[in-house]
Amino acid sequence: MTYSLAGQTITAPDTGGHGLDMSNGQDWLVEDCLIDLSACPLDQLDEAVGVVWGSSAVFRRCVIRGAGKLVLCGSGDTDKLNVERGKTVIFEDCILEDFGRRGPEAQSGMRVMLRGCLIRNW
């Protein structure tokens, strides 16, 4: 089963400091979303997007911006290596901007693919 998120605007982090947290092993399709944490103090944020703990995702036509750490794919947690290895996160026609690092970062054997994306102000 694939979970979908479309046309959403996220401007504040959840209680874990993430704009969008995908961490329960689901597959996600995220389309036409704006994840903009520019107005949030950096000390209240973890990543704008986290795809970890066995989840995978496809982002289409999304704008993700305004965080010190933008996108983490794979947690780096030793006990999660088996469920993360080989999972893929795809960005198609997205804009990733105004961030310090992790634009995007892959750990734990996860794969990241970018197609037709713009990365600026890294």
Does the pLDDT at position 24 exceed 90?
A: no
Residue 5's pLDDT is 97
- What are the start-end ranges of the E strands in 33-102? 34-36, 47-51, 56-60, 63-73, 88-92, 95-101
Q: Model's pTM, two decimal places?
A: 0.95
| pLDDT tens readout for residues 87-107 | 999 999 999 999 998 999 999
Residue 1's pLDDT is 84
With residues binned 3-state (H G I as helix, E B as strand, rest as coil), the percentages for the chain, rounded to 5, are: 10, 50, 40
| pLDDT tens readout for residues 33-73 | 999 999 999 889 999 999 999 999 999 999 999 999 999 99
Region 67-82 average pLDDT: 94
Is there a contact between 48 and 99 (Cβ–Cβ < 8 Å)?
yes
Starting at the edge strand found earlier in the chain, the sheet holding 111-115 runs 2-6, 27-31, 56-60, 88-92, 111-115
Q: Tokens 């999972």 sit at which residue?
A: 87
